[in-house]
Structure 1
Amino acid sequence: MNKLLRYIKRHKFKSAIIFIVVVVYYFCLPQQLFKDPTATVITSSNNELLGAMIAEDGQWRFPQNDTVPEKFKVCILQFEDAYFYRHPGFNPVSIFKALRQNLSSGGVKRGGSTITQQVIRLSRKGQSRTYFEKIKEIVFATRLEFRASKEKILSYYSSNAPFGGNVVGLDAASWRYFNRDASQLSWAESATLAVLPNAPSLIYPGKNQEQLFKKRNRLLEKLMTQGVIDTLTYQLSIAEGLPQKPYPLPQIAPHLLQKVTQTHFGKYVQTTVKKPIQEQVNRIVYNHYTNLKQNEIYNAAVLVLDVKTRKVLAYVGNTPTDKEHEKDVDVIDKPRSTGSILKPFLYAAMLDAGDLLPNTLVADVPTQYGSYNPENYDKQYDGAVPASRALSRSLNVPSVRMLQEFGLDRFHHYLKALHLKDLQYNANHYGLSLILGGAESNLWDLCKSYASLSSTLNHFNETSSEYFSNEFCEPTYLEDKTIDFGKRTSDKTLFDAASIYLTFESLKEVNRPEGNENWEFYDSSKQIAWKTGTSFGFRDAWAIGTTKDYVVGVWVGNADGEGRPGLVGVQTAAPILFDVFDVLPKSDWFSKPFDEMQEVDICSQSGHRASPNCENKEPKYIQIAGLKTPPCPYHILVHLDKNEQYQVNSSCEDLNNMVHKSWFVLPPLMEYYYKAQNPFYKPLPPFREDCFGESTVVMEFIYPKENNTIFLPKDFDGQTNDLILKVAHSKPETLVFWYLDERYLGSTTDIHEFAMQPKNGKHMITVVDAFGNESKRWIEISE
């Protein structure tokens, strides 16, 4: 060290020159050698190519790959630079031979460049091939040898060498010319690609085939001579043909590629997609598309999530339709009308809040809230239906009535907690139609929400009955990203585990679509909680299903919003859903979350907690919050005569002669429709004529609804049809008197229906029964 310092002091000028040269040499090489735009490339979770988007400059240039396949490495070294691992970046012997040959010929006939020099030349594209440029290449090459390993230099070459046409780099060339990954190339294929960069503008697949064939075979012969391959391999290799034209790049997940490009443009991205599942789902969508387009339904999307990891396993953003029908639109993240797909969230919310038990009877009768008049899909009514069956059959009227009872703002709060980003307005903006498709959401958010419910239940059962604080998180399609579910907590995140389990139990019912189709394609051995939905005007068809391990979401429709007859969830989306589940591994059903449940006696007929008057009871596990629900209100104790034909009381019958019996009684309007669907339902017997103090009599309008505007059609002879008024009475045999604007019209008994032809304008209809009970209804008649 002291000698060096003394030398610097004695030779300051010379030392300064040396220092400057060293500094210039150190910084002469750019930190980033290659700045060319690259293609966006996505692969599966196993690094299998799913698709690529061409670089901005129109070149098929994949991002830098630091791994060079062994066969190609051997071929390129034997062809281009046999002393690669022994020289410092340039080969003096090769340079001398090239210089002698070029001087004797009077032109540049031989380059003598090493692979390291060629890397430098590729990075300095556009430079003329002069002797001065050659000297600079040698200097830069030696500097690169100091900075990078030999393997790194080889990867620079293989990723940036030209391979003819607009193909740059080994990875792109392998797929364009042989339709496979570079690591899967044969010796003949590797040799073919090794000779291409030598003259890519003159020789490449489809051009000058004979020259390419000879160059390849000479290299293969050299490999055999060097003992790299045996004679049999050589004979088989030279018998292989050459590629005639480039293959198109795989497009197995084109819409996922679009999505990745938005945030990782020009990058190599390993996704979570399972290639076999993706390809099977692609085929399923294609097969259904060929049928759907016969009905002018052109678009569909499918998303498959892994519940436990929240990773995307398959992503099909659209059908393989044409540009006229928006084939490039990724429907998965586009807002569409939800139809009935939100109903399970309302059911779970009411269970979670303790406002409902799984099979509590809910009203299914003609309903009107102001001008809003919801109807069931089949325009029929059951009178009363278990809440679970109302959900599984996707009945609209019970859902709207449940939402009204639960509270619109309250339910809206639950939906906001699910992070549905397309739910942008307040509750009043949507109104009660929120539950029937008045709001918009997208397949991504809906699948995410169903997966979060399933994951909540899984985690609760797998831990010591605990929840995770970040359960309702975003799924991922990036393989290097791990979902953080947050910290364990004893507090529920949104819904308790029991409410979710009971909701799924309802949703796994088989025969429950909005119609009465036979589900031949449904494999009953697979337990799946699933729900369909259809938006107003038949514009959107949904089907989302979940098991313990997977969530599958399907949307079917037209991207431009055109509705089509038959575009309903059960007919178009559900078959795709089940076909997809058929290619997924079988999954066990959810375990029952006993720590959030309690066994109680439930009234078999009403679904309420059993009261003392309920004769048929059965023990059922319910959510703990359901313990605060009232006991069965529909079973009452009635007193009958000995023949059980009439009700009696102490005013007309001796106590010893009375028969005391529990009776299932529904309110009149519910009863009117319920008994039509349930032939074994028995209305309360009337009181015997000699009895006093009869029970309360109830009378309700069936039709018309309050403040209805009614159009009376005319028949073929021009006669205006009658308006048929209907009333339900708790004692049908009672005499009922009918009035229009206080003008007496007539009376009915047993069947309380009355035909009339009111004039145009507003009218008040009044009915009065023999006991003095009265009911009124305003209507408006219009032509």
Structure 2
Amino acid sequence: MNAHKKVMKYDTFKQWCIKKKWWLTGAAVILIAYYFCLPKQLFTSPTSYVLEDSNGDLLNASIAPDGQWRFPYNAHVPDKFEKCIIAYEDKRFYYHWGIDPIAIGRAINQNARGRKVVSGGSTLTMQVIRLSRNQPRNIWQKIMEAVLATRLEFAASKKKIIALYAANAPFGGNVVGLEAAAWRYYGRKADLLSWGEMAALAVLPNSPALVHPGRNRVTLLNKRNQLLNKLYRQHTIDSITCQLAKMEPLPDQPLPLPQEAPHLLDLFRRDYQQQQTSEPTRIKTTLLADLQHNATAIAERYHNSYKANGINNAAVLVLDVETGNTLAYVGNIYHPSDPELESHVDIIQARRSPGSTLKPILYAAMLNDGLILPNTLIPDIPTQIAGYSPQNFDLGYDGAVPASRALARSLNIPAVRMLQQYRYERFHSLLQKMGITTLNKPADHYGLSLILGGGETTLWEMCGMYASMARTLLHMDQYKGKYDMDDIHPPNYRLNTRYPSKYGLSKDGLLDAGSIWYAFQAMTEVMRPGEELLWQQFSSSQRIAWKTGTSFGFRDGWAIGVTPQYVVGVWVGNADGEGRPGLIGVSTAAPILFDVFRLLHTSGWFDPPYQQMKKIEVCRKSGYRAGELCEEKDSIYVPAAGIRAGVCPYHQLVHLDRTGQWRVTEACESPSLMQHKSWFVLPPSQEYYYRSKNYYQQLPPYKPDCLASLGLDKAPMELIYPRPGARIFVPVEIDGKPGQTIFTATHRNNATKIFWHLDNNFIGATTEFHQMALHPAAGKHTITLVDENGERIEQTFEILDKERE
């Protein structure tokens, strides 16, 4: 029986549906249209690019492409604004579904009595729809707004509707949205506004053209006070708050927005446009607002001093080592009103010659491969390689210098010789793996000049590379002696950005931890500007590994510093590449570096990675692995590859007579009367310069009786011209230029190289045909010749002054 009834009911319903099919079809169409009538994105107007620090404080904002100050949508709406706008615009906002019949009825009654539009009766939801559609205001559009408002109520929460209104309501002039209005009219974020300030803003969207800060102040004052009275009657605020709020001044002319990081804002804009994303044009960065402000102030202070010398630009970058996050980004001094300063150029991202700032990486790379030990002696003598002649900054020579000291003193010739040994092709590849993307030409394009700044890179990538090295060293204990290749990554300025894991842990890293540690150790020995070594006597001084650089032509001054917590990079120069006298890293960039470090709280130092190192004996004098003839030895920890380093080549067994004053051979001295000693002997070309700056005991000469047996009874080298005490007159050439004097020498062994020095300055080397064309200035001079065996001759001569003669 029950089944029969169900069948009958179904048939009846079926017949009814057939009869009403057109009505049902129409209803279905209406429901589908109603469902899809609301656009997926209500607001498509362009928005301002907004830059916030890690705490959400505004750093920078740019005006939107349509000329409006319109910040991107923000889901957070201050409680004060919510209470003010609901009290002023839609007091039953939380009780209706998009339309308020009571408000509509009241509006119809008021408009009929006044015979004009007195009130619209729109709810906040309807106003959101009207703002998004921007259509003429008429009855038909009002109906459409009502329909869409009900649909919006189904699609979004009340909180979101309030947020949509707050982000898109007009606030007078070209100011759109509560956030932009708070900054333009009060110079601070909306969360910090008082009741009086918030009430003044809440009344603006109702009639932004009429009530404009700076005009119609009486109308604005009355509307604000009426709203405050309403809030008091609703018990939202008490009487004292109401009275105090009424006493607050109204906003005056719009204020400029913060310009704390304009160059990072430009970088964010470029990155955003390249990504072609639909994400909001707002970014919360990793920057610290206070540090950014103070770093900018330091750069400005030094700029005021440097500009007297025609040095107009400076940049500062501060990174957190652990994360690689950017803590301060001063892309340049910022004076947009002065176009000659070119302060719009973001130097942090600009390609510049890095000078000597790559030397620590080469030092670490050679330690990593066992090509040198920390204090291996590196030649520092006049050098010419395939026509390339590097010079030290002071134009002097040390003969030979420990690798660590060569790095600390930033000597160019040892660096070039080290790169020649390591091979510039390998070094070029290593830098690319370490994150330097700007060296995008073949290695042969740069050659050996790469180590002296022959390529171009950016402060961004250089600081990122040093941060990767420090991060690798910090994580040794955490990864139990293994390397995480993901630790090598570029800097980041977006908050909560994490680099995906690609490689995981590995037994080997790009650079051994011990090599990095020794590189940082050598960098701590650099003398701080103005303090020399005295800073080491103060326990409060920060321990910083730092390196400066100066590009060719004095165009770029660099300084990069590293601690276990931070990396700070500084660049000083001119954005247009103009060089200036005195523009060197140690005197321009380094002072800024240390002032910035004084803002940071650094402590501790990198722990020596002993698990990654080996203990070996090294020769104290040469820095090589100790051989049998090395008498002074030290036991030190070195990078693991150091066990493959070469044995000391500079100690040799020397045979002396019984007095120890002469070298002898068995041909002229009985072996029983000989003394046999280990002697530290540098190659002659290194010895000549080394002994002028270091204690060096030269080899004793051969005993006269032994010269004949060695074939050395006569001097092997002779200066043919000029003769001792010669007075030389050099005529002027036909073209008016000073003439040259041809100096001539001879050597018993034609294959021997002779090194020429004029007044103790190296001027060149010759083999086979020993002639040198010179044009010394008038006056007395000394010419010195040294051959490969250490034999030397020295002679004085005088160049006559034609006018005096």
Q: TM-score, normalised by structure 2?
A: 0.87
C-alpha distance 143-521 of structure 1, shift in aligned 2 (>3 A): farther
Given candidates 136, 147, 167, the residue that maps to 1:159 is: 167
Q: Distance in 1 between matches of 2:542 and 2:501?
A: 28
Cα deviation for residue 398 of structure 1 reads 1.0
1:21 corresponds to which residue? 30
Q: Distance in 2 between matches of 1:380 and 1:598?
A: 35
1:701 corresponds to which residue? 755
Where structure 1 has 5 or more consecutive residues not aligned to the other structure, the ranges are: 735-749, 759-783
1:113 corresponds to which residue? 122
Given candidates 781, 784, 790, the residue that maps to 1:726 is: 784
Given candidates 621, 638, 663, the residue that maps to 2:679 is: 663
Counterpart check, 1:288 vs 2:302 = yes
C-alpha contact (below 8 Å) 1:686/1:731 kept by paired residues? no
Q: Distance in 2 between matches of 1:644 and 1:405?
A: 38
C-alpha distance 146-730 of structure 1, shift in aligned 2 (>3 A): closer
Given candidates 352, 365, 371, the residue that maps to 2:387 is: 371
C-alpha distance 706-277 of structure 1, shift in aligned 2 (>3 A): same
Cα deviation for residue 374 of structure 1 reads 1.0
C-alpha contact (below 8 Å) 2:49/2:62 kept by paired residues? yes
Cα deviation for residue 82 of structure 1 reads 0.8
C-alpha contact (below 8 Å) 1:174/1:181 kept by paired residues? yes
Counterpart check, 1:313 vs 2:327 = yes
C-alpha contact (below 8 Å) 1:468/1:485 kept by paired residues? no
C-alpha contact (below 8 Å) 2:78/2:191 kept by paired residues? yes
Q: How many residues align?
A: 734
1:557 corresponds to which residue? 573
Q: Distance in 2 between matches of 1:398 and 1:688?
A: 36
Which region of structure 1 is more displaced relative to structure 2, 196-205 or 465-474? 465-474
Q: Distance in 2 between matches of 1:370 and 1:107?
A: 93
1:76 corresponds to which residue? 85
- What amino acid is the match of 1:40? Y
C-alpha distance 14-730 of structure 1, shift in aligned 2 (>3 A): closer
2:734 corresponds to which residue? none
C-alpha contact (below 8 Å) 2:354/2:456 kept by paired residues? yes
1:686 corresponds to which residue? 701
Counterpart check, 1:214 vs 2:222 = yes
Cα deviation for residue 577 of structure 1 reads 1.2
C-alpha distance 722-440 of structure 1, shift in aligned 2 (>3 A): farther
C-alpha contact (below 8 Å) 1:712/1:723 kept by paired residues? no
Counterpart check, 1:302 vs 2:320 = no
C-alpha contact (below 8 Å) 1:340/1:533 kept by paired residues? yes
Cα deviation for residue 485 of structure 1 reads 4.9
- What amino acid is the match of 1:681? Y
- What amino acid is the match of 2:249? G
- What amino acid is the match of 1:701? F
SS at structure 1 position matched to 2:705: coil
Q: Distance in 2 between matches of 1:96 and 1:627?
A: 94
- What amino acid is the match of 1:116? T
Given candidates 332, 353, 362, the residue that maps to 2:369 is: 353
Counterpart check, 1:334 vs 2:350 = yes
Cα deviation for residue 222 of structure 1 reads 1.6
Q: TM-score, normalised by structure 1?
A: 0.89
- What amino acid is the match of 2:63? I
Q: How does 1:237-636 map to 2 (within 5 A)?
A: 237-264=245-272, 267-321=281-335, 322-511=338-527, 518=532, 525-636=541-652
Q: Distance in 2 between matches of 1:755 and 1:433?
A: 38
Q: Percent identity between the aligned chains?
A: 49
Q: Distance in 2 between matches of 1:128 and 1:463?
A: 66
Once the two structures are superposed, residues 498-557 of structure 1 have per-residue CA deviations (whole angstroms, 9 ceiling, x without a partner) of 1111111111113278xx973788987322111111011000111111111211111111
C-alpha distance 485-752 of structure 1, shift in aligned 2 (>3 A): farther
Q: Distance in 2 between matches of 1:574 and 1:709?
A: 45
C-alpha contact (below 8 Å) 1:270/1:478 kept by paired residues? yes
- What amino acid is the match of 2:700? P
Cα deviation for residue 81 of structure 1 reads 0.8
C-alpha contact (below 8 Å) 2:47/2:281 kept by paired residues? yes
Once the two structures are superposed, residues 269-295 of structure 1 have per-residue CA deviations (whole angstroms, 9 ceiling, x without a partner) of 111112222112111111111111111
Which region of structure 1 is more displaced relative to structure 2, 194-203 or 401-410? 401-410
C-alpha distance 700-193 of structure 1, shift in aligned 2 (>3 A): same
- What amino acid is the match of 1:395? L
C-alpha contact (below 8 Å) 1:393/1:512 kept by paired residues? no
Counterpart check, 1:752 vs 2:761 = no
- What amino acid is the match of 2:240? L
Cα RMSD for the two superposed structures: 2.6
C-alpha distance 32-490 of structure 1, shift in aligned 2 (>3 A): closer
Given candidates 657, 671, 674, the residue that maps to 2:690 is: 674
Given candidates 177, 188, 196, the residue that maps to 1:169 is: 177
Cα deviation for residue 368 of structure 1 reads 1.3
1:49 corresponds to which residue? 58
Q: Distance in 2 between matches of 1:413 and 1:157?
A: 55
Q: Distance in 2 between matches of 1:519 and 1:61?
A: 55
Which region of structure 1 is more displaced relative to structure 2, 27-36 or 328-337? 27-36
Once the two structures are superposed, residues 695-733 of structure 1 have per-residue CA deviations (whole angstroms, 9 ceiling, x without a partner) of 999874144324899885575xxx6x788643225777x
1:149 corresponds to which residue? 157
C-alpha contact (below 8 Å) 2:681/2:698 kept by paired residues? yes
1:777 corresponds to which residue? none
Q: Distance in 2 between matches of 1:512 and 1:752?
A: 40
Once the two structures are superposed, residues 347-377 of structure 1 have per-residue CA deviations (whole angstroms, 9 ceiling, x without a partner) of 1111111110110011111111232211110
Counterpart check, 1:123 vs 2:132 = yes
SS at structure 2 position matched to 1:197: coil
Once the two structures are superposed, residues 670-710 of structure 1 have per-residue CA deviations (whole angstroms, 9 ceiling, x without a partner) of 111111112x3211111222236669998741443248998
SS at structure 2 position matched to 1:264: helix
Counterpart check, 1:92 vs 2:97 = no
C-alpha contact (below 8 Å) 1:471/1:486 kept by paired residues? no
C-alpha contact (below 8 Å) 1:533/1:542 kept by paired residues? yes
C-alpha distance 711-306 of structure 1, shift in aligned 2 (>3 A): farther
Which region of structure 1 is more displaced relative to structure 2, 441-450 or 705-714? 705-714
Cα deviation for residue 131 of structure 1 reads 2.5
Cα deviation for residue 330 of structure 1 reads 0.8
Which region of structure 1 is more displaced relative to structure 2, 13-22 or 194-203? 13-22
C-alpha distance 44-709 of structure 1, shift in aligned 2 (>3 A): farther
C-alpha distance 490-143 of structure 1, shift in aligned 2 (>3 A): closer
SS at structure 1 position matched to 2:490: coil
- What amino acid is the match of 1:442? T
Q: Distance in 2 between matches of 1:280 and 1:5?
A: 79
Q: Distance in 1 between matches of 2:624 and 2:197?
A: 73
Once the two structures are superposed, residues 739-777 of structure 1 have per-residue CA deviations (whole angstroms, 9 ceiling, x without a partner) of xxxxxxxxxxx652465989xxxxxxxxxxxxxxxxxxx
Q: Distance in 1 between matches of 2:19 and 2:754?
A: 117
- What amino acid is the match of 2:567? V
Once the two structures are superposed, residues 21-68 of structure 1 have per-residue CA deviations (whole angstroms, 9 ceiling, x without a partner) of 222222222222111111111111111111111111000001111111
C-alpha contact (below 8 Å) 1:68/1:155 kept by paired residues? yes
Q: Distance in 2 between matches of 1:252 and 1:695?
A: 78
1:189 corresponds to which residue? 197
C-alpha distance 612-711 of structure 1, shift in aligned 2 (>3 A): closer
2:47 corresponds to which residue? 38
Counterpart check, 1:102 vs 2:111 = yes
Once the two structures are superposed, residues 392-429 of structure 1 have per-residue CA deviations (whole angstroms, 9 ceiling, x without a partner) of 10001111111222222222222232232221222222
1:778 corresponds to which residue? none
Given candidates 169, 180, 183, the residue that maps to 2:188 is: 180
2:724 corresponds to which residue? none
SS at structure 2 position matched to 1:484: coil
SS at structure 1 position matched to 2:755: strand
C-alpha distance 438-205 of structure 1, shift in aligned 2 (>3 A): same
C-alpha contact (below 8 Å) 1:461/1:591 kept by paired residues? no
